[in-house]
Amino acid sequence: MVFKAPLLDKPAPGWKHDLPGPNESPSNEPYPPVLSNPPNYSDDIYLELARATMRVRGAGVCLSPFMFLLSLIAPFTLIEYILKEGTPPLIPTFFLLLAFVVALWGGVYLWRMDTEAPRDEPIRFNRLRRKVYVHRFHHDGLRPFSRTAWGVRTEVYDWDNLRAEACSVYGPMGSGGLIETVTLAVVKPGTHQVIDRFHFAHEIQQGEMYWAMAQLFMQQGPQALPTFPRPPRDWNNENVTFNLARRLAPKVRWPAEIDLESRSAP
C-alpha cells in the first residue's frame, strides 16, 4: 500500500512512500533468496532480525591513519616556519589550524564509526508483549571525542506506535549515488507526530520484505514466516580475520534485564 503524501509529521529525509502500518496487511511478500540475512532467531514469543547502520565496514580503519598523518602537517609546518621566520602570517595560520582540526576530526570519526559500532544492531519483536526492542548504536559527528554521545543503547517501543518509511537520497559517491533505505519512526500514540526515528534496512525492496516479516510475525506468529535455505548468522562468533574493523567491533551484549524481558511472555 503506497500513500501519495507523507503520513508523518515530519516525514523522513528523502521520503519516497509510507509502508503499511503495523496492523495492516503487508505490501510485499518476503522472498528469502533476495534477503541479506535470515532472522537471527524466531519462536512463538519473539523474532530477532539483524540490522546494521553501516552497510560496509573496514574503509574507516584504512582511512583514519592517513587522516591522522595528514593532521600532523599543519603543526609541523607552523613550527618550522616559526623556527626559521618568526611569527607566521595570520591567514595562512588560520587555514593550517583549520586543516588540522578537520583532519583530526575526520580521523577520529572514521575510526570510531568503524570500530565502536557493534557487529550487529539487532531488533526484537515480542508478539506477546507487543513491544519492540532495539539494540542501537548512537554516534555524534559534532562530538567525535565524547564518551556519552557514543555507544550502544537498548530502546523499547510499542509495536502499535511504529511506522515504516521508504527513503532515497543522493549521497557523495563520486559522481553521485542513490542511497535507498527503510527507516522506522516512533509516533506519539494516536497521532502522526514523530518522537523518534532510526534506520531499519538498506535498500527499499529488502526493507519492505523485512518489515513484512515483522508484520506477519506480530499478526500471525512464526508459522507465517518463510523458510530460509541457510541457517542464521552468528554475529558474535563469525570469522572476521581479514576485516580489522569487525574484529575490533564489540560483540552484541543485551542488558540482562532487557534480554530476559524481550525473550519472554508478560
Domain map (residue ranges) of the chain: 15-54+120-234+254-262, 60-115
Q: H-helix or E-strand containing 202?
A: strand 194-202
Cβ atoms < 10 Å from Cβ of 118? 20
DSSP 17-52: EEPPPTTSPPSS---GGG-S---SEE-SSEEEE---
DSSP 152-181: EEEEEEEGGGEEEEEEEEEE-STT-EEEEE
Amino acid 89 reads: P
Name the region of 221 (left: φ>0; alpha: ψ -120 to 50; beta: rest). Answer: left
Evaluate if residue 164 carries a pLDDT over 70: yes
Distance, in Å, from the CA atom of 34 to the CA atom of 122, rounded to the nearest integer, reads: 19
Evaluate if residue 3 carries a pLDDT over 70: no
Cβ atoms < 10 Å from Cβ of 177? 10
For position 172, what pLDDT does the model report?
59
pLDDT in tens, 40-84: 999 999 999 999 888 888 888 888 999 999 888 888 888 888 888
Evaluate if residue 192 carries a pLDDT over 70: yes
Distance, in Å, from the CA atom of 154 to the CA atom of 207, rounded to the nearest integer, reads: 21
**Those residues with Cβ within 8 angstroms of residue 168's Cβ, 6 or more apart along the chain or in another chain:** 14, 16, 178, 179, 180, 181, 204
Name the band, by pLDDT with cuts 50, 70 and 90, for residue 2: very low
From the list 252, 211, 251, the residue with the least C-alpha distance to 122 is 252
